[in-house]
Structure 1
Amino acid sequence: MIRAIVRTDPLTAEDAAAEWLLRREAGHDIERDPGFVAWRDGAVEHAKAWGHATALWDLVDGPVADDPLFAALRRDALQARPQRPAWTIAAIAAAVVVGVALVAVPWIRDMFDGRSLVAPQPSSASTYASGEVPETIALADGSRVTLAANAAIAVDDQTGRRAVRLLRGEAYFSVVHDAGRPFEVAAGGRTITDLGTEFDVRLDDGAITVTLAKGAVALPPAGGSGQALLLVRPGQQVTAAPGRADRVGQADLAEALAWRKPLLDFSSTPLSEAAAAVNRYGGGRVGILDPSVAAIRISGQYRAGDPVRFARSVADAYGLKVRMAADGAAEIVAR
């Protein structure tokens, strides 16, 4: 299932940082919240405001009265009233910042059970996250993004730009090209620009791997100075990590994109039925002519869309062999 989060009333960086900070203090694991990650990584001023907020939270006894974040917290606290039961958790921690002890304000303390918490999502982008299986998202311009399992992106759909930020995991982009409005994907501090293409981006501990499937993409150098790296041949792949030179190579495209094809899970399934299931996904055909071979029951997970690999895997596991027929079918036969 895809979840979309949209905020239509953007906050200042200081106000947004204050809301996220206070939500964190209320016990929410914001580091796992795609909305928070999208906001924090979406702009330099957001990251600075967040760093400032967390530092300020530990130093509230210092000379911070003129600080814009302090002002945001204080403004929220002073606007709070007991007759506003739906007021957010911000008032609770903001009261601490302005010197109001919780023990002296029972109506605020009573709200701390979280029942009135309104989850802030301070981001001007729409955030999409996949669950345990890949999900495909259709963007407004006709482009499509397929998220791998447990991946997330933020889509800038409010400023007229075609910009996506990969927040975690891996995603495959099938882009409708528009020379007047370049499609950009930001990940790991780098930006990939579409030149009419399909490509895959994986984010792993700050490093990114970009694999070209069709067309071409450009990857500007780290720091923004110098000549952009162009990928123009299907299967070309670049891995970029902070503090290291970009590595360019040629990937096995089928292997690199195998996650896009569903896994077929068989449990004591007759081989004839398993072969029929594999054949429904195309990419060739598995053939079984021997009834005794067709009756063999198999178990395991196999990637759909690659009948030849399925046939060879089954043959290796069950003491059979594969014979390629004249029509291209991968026939599984007895040894």
Structure 2
Amino acid sequence: MHRTARSAPIAPHVLEEAADWLMRLNAGMVTDEDRAACERWRQTSPDHARAWARAERLLNKLGSLPPSLAMPALDRPPENGRRAALAKLSALLLVVPMARTACRLAEERGWTADLRTAAGERRERQLADGSRVTLNTATAVDVRFDAAQRFVQLRAGEILVHTAKDASVMRRPFYVSTADGLLEALGTRFSVRREEGRTRVAVLEGAVRIEPRSAEAPARPILRAGEQAWFTANGVSPVMPADDTATAWIRGMLSADRMRLADFAAELARYRNGIVRCDPAVANLRISGAFPVADTDRALAMLVSTYPVAVSTRMGGYWVNLSAR
């Protein structure tokens, strides 16, 4: 059965035009001529009308979105930031039917967290006890220290923790929590990565005890230096040697060892604003090498120069597609 025109996808360039009009009409300097021009654009085609209806639905929801998303988009930015704001609004328009779900996810994604990093950003923070936490790209963390414990909650993303000896009389334990369970640091340096439905911990120094969230999970295993494991709320995977791919981000690199191109695309997407798509025809191409995450355009250029892959972009580089060359 063919899709109806109403249910067919709206072309990205049309959504970008709708986002542009949304910015113009909410910039505070709008004129009657601006409103009339927008109305003429809206009436040009049914897709324009559909895109504008979607933009209006988004506008109604922006009030409940985190300020980091809503305000930079609607306050007219300086010209060098305008394309970024426009790309952000265009991306929101792509998923606006799911905006209610996105709002519900705001809390767990960490938009109100104590410590946050944006896509492509890496930041180190020294905590009150002298411990250090390094946040990888798109990471959100809450820190709660009290008289009984030192507690770090990883809401999203990835962190490197280097614990310090507690100087308080209580000798408070140091915990890292994720949605899947609790990690107890036993004098250590370790990384923790949260993904959908699971958490990875890799121990560089010392040891870490894993306690899955479910009360019915098996006994709490201890990982030693040089070991890593994934765990869910219900249990822990077999312990494996901690390889370079788990911690290469600390050195600003994405390390690939015969990684599927589809997985490489998903990993690279963590480090840039926008979407990185991989054509199914080349999804299983195996990639090896070290790629800089601080410059994802350079990483893509390295990929193209080494493998039979073509890179195409849209929306000012916000949308990237990997295909066969």
Q: TM-score, normalised by structure 1?
A: 0.41
More helix by share: 2
Q: Specify the structure having the higher radius of gyration (Cα).
A: 1
TM-score, normalisation: structure 2 = 0.42
